[in-house]
Every structure is written in C-alpha cells, then in structure tokens.
Amino acid sequence: QLQLVESGGGLVQPGGSLRLSCAASGFTLEYLHIGWFRQAPGKGREGLSCISSSTGSTMYADSVKGRFTISRDNAKNTVYLQMNSLKPEDTAVYYCGPVSGGRYCAFVPVGSWGQGTQVTVSS
C-alpha cells in the first residue's frame, strides 16, 4: 500500500523553527520529485518547495525562500522541510507528495498525498 505520512507540526512562537517529515511506505521517494504544499483556512493550496529526483535540485516559493529548506534522506525514505524564522502567516496544514516535472521539479501535485500536519505560529 502506497502511503505518505507527514509529521513534525505543532505550535511554535513567531521566530521559532520546526522540521517537518514526510515518510513514505510502499514506494521509494528517491525516484520521485517531491514537494511540500500548505493550505491555510479559507485559502487555496500553496506550493512551497520541491526537490528533484535525479538532480536533487530544489525550488522554493518566494514566500519561504531563505527561511525554509527541503532535503531528502534516501536511506530513511523521508523528505524533510526545515522551517526557520516562522511567522504567523505560516500557519496552515502542511502536505507533502509527488509533483510533476522533467529534469527539475515543479509545483504541480500528482498522485497520492498525505493527510497533512498542522503548523500554528502564535505567541
């Protein structure tokens, strides 16, 4: 059974950090472009970052560039999103999953995605 599980969310103060994990079972993340998206209440899903399968190159939305870092641990079949300097506007449910792309990933979700993990940034 193909499954993705996000974890690592929680409540953090503005300026704080969290590391989200995206663990896969039933398939190998290494061979897919993987992206992180988020959805805040009343808003659409926003692409944040993705990492390409073969090149390992990364891409970031302007809203998180310089604050978030995506990485992959192939041995653990897990993709991470390190989030620093968090702001209240980062509050959302965060999702990971496969995204489309050729040589490089793109912010276009495809296939099955996880249930998400809640991130709340508040003092």
Q: Which helix (H) or strand (E) holds 68?
A: strand 68-73
pLDDT at 54: 82
Sign of CA dihedral 52, 58, 64, 69: positive
Q: Which residues of the chain have pLDDT under 70?
A: 1
pLDDT at 59: 96
pLDDT at 2: 76
Pairing of strands 10-12, 117-121: parallel
Token pair, residue 105, equals: 């990933």
pLDDT at 102: 87
Q: How far apart are CA 121 and CA 123, in angstroms?
A: 7
